[in-house]
Amino acid sequence: MFGYIKMAMTMVLIAGIAGAAIYVNKLRSDNAILKANQVELERSIGEQTKLLEQQKKDFDAIMESNKKLNILINTFKKDLDELDKRFNKKKRDVGKLAIERSQSVERVINKGSAEATRCVELASGAERTEEELKATRKSQINTMCPSLANPNYVPYE
């Protein structure tokens, strides 16, 4: 009977050692999986950091473009107000003027149409000519959109 107890104890001991070996192997495999997960997590964090930096740069670029666009819009509003003041004067009858001074009115309208067409071209992305860039006197500028056509012109106020 004592032999059976020794044998049972030995079997329990062998089973315990085998169980411990299996448990250690499982811990090693879990550790390897966790290390792989950690490497992947660190790589993902690096990519996310780069993405956030790029988004910040893009946001800053958008904000800078927005500022430039607001400046351009304000300039156009100022030009529009000046044109509005020019054309909305009291007691002006364009029809009567056209009859009395047809050649003068025709010349003014043709010049204004040409200048307005040039404004549309510039607003659409056309390059400024050398004459437009060098214009500094009122007689040289495009009166329809001086801030767009003649950036070097500074009006005296």
Domain residue ranges in the chain: 1-88, 90-149
CB proximity list for 137: less than 8 A, separation 6 or greater: 153
Does position 50 have pLDDT exceeding 60, yes or no?
Answer: yes
CB atoms within 10 A of CB 59: 10
CB proximity list for 66: less than 8 A, separation 6 or greater: none
Does position 73 have pLDDT exceeding 70, yes or no?
Answer: yes
Q: 76-126, pLDDT tens digit by residue?
A: 888 888 777 776 666 667 777 778 888 888 888 888 888 888 888 888 888
